[in-house]
Amino acid sequence: MSRKVDSVKDINDSKETWRLAVRIMDVWSVVNNKGIEHLEMIVMDSLETLCVTVATTLKFVVSKYGWFYYGCTRCSSKAPNPEKAYECSCGQKVEQPIPRYKIEIYVSNGESKYRFVFWDSECAAILGMTAEFMHNSMVENGEDDPMVYPDELEMLLNKKMTFRVKVQPTFSQASVWKLCDDEAFVKEIENDYIVEDNQSKTEYAKLVPNKENLETSAQTLSASGENDPESIILMTPAKDVVIADKGEEVDFKASGATQLSGTNPSKKLKIEPSS
């Protein structure tokens, strides 16, 4: 008996973290000629899910690392030590690691709230400046505390956008792979792919846009890289792919989230992480 197993993904072959995050898809038994079951076979795939959704950014989620990390000058991988030169796995010899954006933001889609992680390229595209430039400007003004969020980051808030995200249930968050704030495209996604709350899970699972629209939308929100999952869910996660617990209201004050005011005079805000 043999069966092609082609759904095992996301194997991390790093010596320090030999792990395989999987979801069981199928289980069957192998029986010998005496009718005795002696082997159980399991087919598994990646636990993470890629989907497209529309949401509005609300408030920053406070982390103990602030709004940036130090990374490679060529790729976005994290530097092992921000103060030491090293050779990155991409082959780049890094003399001095540079700041790169990593910002967690609460977003809302109707009554549902999620935590999205915004990475360097997406933040830089919205803000119009690199994290290195922003950090250097702060240092020139006498501020080098990563817990001080510069005023410019407010541009990331109160924006309704279409997101292509990888949902990571293990970490109760979703990682933003691509985003688009074009109003026409946001409206198109809302009109074509949003699932109404009164639809059943079966209806939700069967809701698939026509091939032409699916390919167009996937290309518009495609992310670069060779690790793209094979399938894309082009719909709002709604209540089937939930980052926060079902029915749970996020208390932003209690959770340590913050938001820079757009009405008060501009000033830098130091954020203390929640314990």
Q: What's the structural domain count of the chain?
A: 2
Determine what percent of the chain is predicted with pLDDT higher than 70: 52
Kindly tell me if the per-residue pLDDT of 121 is higher than 70.
Answer: yes
Check residues 85 and 28 and name the one with the higher pLDDT: 85
Contact 91, 125 (CB under 8 A): no
**Residue 143 is part of a domain; what is its CATH number?**
2.40.50
Q: Cα separation of 108 and 57, whole Å? A: 7
Q: Which of 54-58, 110-114, 266-270 has the lowest mean pLDDT?
A: 266-270
The helix or strand, by DSSP H or E, that contains position 11, with its residue range, turns out to be strand 11-12
Nearest to 165 by CA among 251, 55, 71: 55
On whether residue 4 sits in a domain, the answer given is no
C-alpha to C-alpha distance for 20 and 169, rounded to whole angstroms: 15
Lowest mean pLDDT among 14-23, 127-136, 250-259: 250-259
To the nearest whole number, what is the mean pLDDT of the chain?
69
Same domain? For 61 and 40 the reply is no
- Say yes or no: 20 and 128 in one domain: no
Q: Read off the pLDDT of each residue in 68-87 and give the average, rounded to a whole number.
A: 96
- The answer to the question of residue 3 being in a domain is no
Task: Please choose, from the candidates 163, 167, 215, the residue with its C-alpha nearest in 3D space to the C-alpha of residue 190.
Answer: 163
pLDDT tens per residue across span 155-205: 999 999 999 898 877 777 899 999 999 999 999 888 876 554 444 333 333
CA distance 34 to 47: 37
In terms of domains, do 110 and 41 share one? no
Top pLDDT among 192 and 13 is at 192
Q: What is the pLDDT of residue 29?
A: 56
Residue 141 and residue 195 in one domain: yes
Asked if residue 262 is part of any domain, the answer here is yes
SS3 state at 260: coil
Judge if 141 and 244 occupy the same domain.
yes
Measured torsion, CA atoms of residues 167, 170, 175, 181, in degrees rounded to the nearest 10:
50
pLDDT (0 to 100) of residue 1: 40
Q: Is 29 found in the same domain as 82?
A: no
Instruction: Based on the fold, state whether residues 55 and 19 are members of the same structural domain.
Output: no
Kindly state whether residues 186 and 98 are assigned to the same domain: yes
What pLDDT is attached to residue 109? Answer: 86
What pLDDT was estimated at residue 105?
97
Side-chain-side CA neighbours of 131 within 13 Å: the count stands at: 24
Q: Helix or strand or coil: residue 22? A: strand
In a domain, 275, yes or no: no
- Domain, as residue range, for 19: 11-46
Total residues found in the chain within this entry = 275
More confident residue, 125 or 3: 125
Q: How confident is the model at residue 249 (pLDDT cuts 50, 70, 90)?
A: very low
Contact 17, 10 (CB under 8 A): no
Encoding tokens for residue 199? Answer: 């639809």
Residue 159's pLDDT is what?
A: 96
Describe the crossing of helices 120-127 and 131-140 by its angle, rounded to 10 degrees.
70
Q: What are the tokens at 29? A: 């038994």
Q: Tell me: the pLDDT tens digits for 22-59?
A: 454 455 555 666 766 545 444 444 556 778 889 999 99
Residue 71 banded pLDDT, cuts 50, 70, 90:
very high
Highest mean pLDDT among 22-31, 61-70, 126-135, 259-268: 126-135
Span 15-26, mean pLDDT? Answer: 46
Residues 169 and 37 in one domain: no
Query: How far, in Å, CA of 225 to CA of 216, rounded?
Result: 18
Whether residue 183 is contained in a domain is answered as yes
